[in-house]
Amino acid sequence: KQEVTQIPAALSVPEGENLVLNCSFTDSAIYNLQWFRQDPGKGLTSLLLIQSSQREQTSGRLNASLDKSSGRSTLYIAASQPGDSATYLCAVSGGNKLVFGAGTILRVKS
Amino acid sequence: DAGVIQSPRHEVTEMGQEVTLRCKPISGHDYLFWYRQTMMRGLELLIYFNNNVPIDDSGMPEDRFSAKMPNASFSTLKIQPSEPRDSAVYFCASSPDSPYGYTFGSGTRLTVV
């Protein structure tokens, strides 16, 4: 059974700092990995999708990497802003189902 | 495209009542998923459909929960009778095919009192 773990559970940083969120998964037989953002009381917004054959994806200040063999992914956020404050969720797909981690709650202080 | 559309956004009901949640997936997406989110358990997959056919309902917690997809543009999740422990945010998501990405709706916040 696939299990997804995210570290840290919560993170508070000053504005402008670069930061890394970590995601690990137990079964490396995945199709893809997706990072989502969830604002309080809102739905999930897809940030980046990495196919199993890819090593990384970039969108603006966000960069996500994937190491299937070690069962790890990182989300790098450059020059963090208060608007980045949200919960970040990692999810892996081993077929048609997404399995989610518990998320990292990020707070960027101005 | 308007994205995945869920209704209602909020639902407050009394214990024992029937609750029906609705979802319209993105046109052309073959897969539809129902997830539940709680503070204690995070996001859990309840059931998913492929081409309107239920494929995996192993996440449905009890027989009180049922889901249907009568056509490619509509799905319902029904709870009968509802209980306070069913209070959660229920999300619907659709996907064109694996291994492509999923798009989530805004969710229905259910409160059972």
For residue A29, the tally of other CB atoms under 10 A from its CB is: 11
Q: Nearest CA to A58 among A69, A46, A47?
A: A47
What pLDDT shows up at residue A41? 82
pLDDT tens digits for chain A (110 residues)? 899 999 999 999 999 999 999 999 999 998 899 999 999 888 899 999 998 899 999 999 999 999 999 999 999 999 999 999 999 999 998 777 889 999 999 999 99
Band (B23; pLDDT cuts 50, 70, 90): very high
Q: Identify residues of B whose CB sits under 8 angstroms from chain A CBs.
A: 31, 33, 42-43, 45, 48, 50, 55-56, 91, 93, 95, 98-107, 109
What pLDDT shows up at residue B98? 60
CA distance A110 to A41: 22
- For residue B43, what is the nearest residue in chain A, using CA coordinates? A100
What pLDDT shows up at residue B2? 79
Inter-chain contact B98–A95, Cβ cutoff 8 Å? yes
List, in order, residues 6 or more apart from A103 with CB less than 8 Å away. A6, A9, A38, A87, A88, A89, A90, B42
What pLDDT shows up at residue A96? 73
The token pair at B104 is 């989530």
What pLDDT shows up at residue B36? 97
What pLDDT shows up at residue B99? 55
| Full 3-state SS string of A16-75 | CCCEEEEEEECCCCCCEEEEEEECCCCCEEEEEEEECCCCEEEECCEEEEEECCCCEEEE
- For residue A95, what is the nearest residue in chain B, using CA coordinates? B98
Inter-chain contact B104–A31, Cβ cutoff 8 Å? no
Inter-chain contact B106–A42, Cβ cutoff 8 Å? yes
> In this predicted model, what pLDDT tens digit does every residue of B27-61 receive, in sequence order?
999 999 999 999 888 999 999 999 999 999 999 98
Amino acid at site B51? N
A-B CB pairs within 8 A amount to 56
Inter-chain contact B50–A97, Cβ cutoff 8 Å? no
What pLDDT shows up at residue A48? 95
CA distance A110 to B10: 33
CA distance A75 to A87: 12
In DSSP terms, B110 is beta-bridged to B11, B88
> In this predicted model, what pLDDT tens digit does every residue of B70-108 receive, in sequence order?
999 999 999 999 999 999 999 999 998 765 678 899 999
Inter-chain contact B99–A103, Cβ cutoff 8 Å? no
CA distance B42 to B38: 5
Determine the distance in angstroms separating the CA of A73 from the nearest CA of chain B, rounded to an integer.
16
- For residue A90, what is the nearest residue in chain B, using CA coordinates? B43
Determine the distance in angstroms separating the CA of B85 from the nearest CA of chain A, rounded to an integer.
19
Contacting residues of B for A36, CB less than 8 Å apart: 104
What is the number of alpha carbons within 13 Å of residue B95 lying toward its C-beta?
21
